[in-house]
Amino acid sequence: MKMEDFQLCKTDEGVEFVQFMEGPTKTRQGGLQSKNRDFQLWMFAVGGERCPVALFKQFAERRPLNMQRSGRFYLSIKWNRKVNDNVWFKIQLMDENTVSNMMKTIVASTSLEESEKKFTNHSARKTTVSKL
């Protein structure tokens, strides 16, 4: 996923939403030659501390200034940042093993751990698309 795949929008009534415009991928039926989805994927603001639009905006603001609207979605974490540092990520892509281990950590000690299903970084992309 890339930051360019997401667009912050507003309805005519002024409700904010994030639109996900997924391009062709080799994992979708039709592969890289397939057209865009027949429907738009939107995530609406709901207010509160778990509002997906507010969290997306915060995530974008925590990225390096030149990557807040472009570049790969997953970046490496700045572990040694200063207390007042607003940037949490560095301009280094997060490698596949790190994302894979992160998924294992997320699943651990949750009800998902007891599931027979295997969760991967592809699951995260698929779940994001489904939830939107």
Give first-to-last CA distance, the chain, whole Å. 14
Confidence class for position 92, pLDDT limits 50, 70, 90? confident
* Helix boundaries (H) for 83-120: 96-107
pLDDT at 103: 73
| Cross-strand pairs, 89 | 77
pLDDT at 78: 85
Confidence class for position 91, pLDDT limits 50, 70, 90? confident
Please provide residue 93's backbone torsions phi and psi, each rounded to the nearest 5 degrees: -65, 145
pLDDT in tens, 12-48: 999 899 988 876 666 555 555 555 556 567 788 888 8
pLDDT in tens, 100-112: 777 777 777 777 7
pLDDT at 1: 79
Please provide residue 129's backbone torsions phi and psi, each rounded to the nearest 5 degrees: -60, -45
pLDDT in tens, 48-88: 888 999 999 999 999 998 898 888 888 888 888 787 888 88
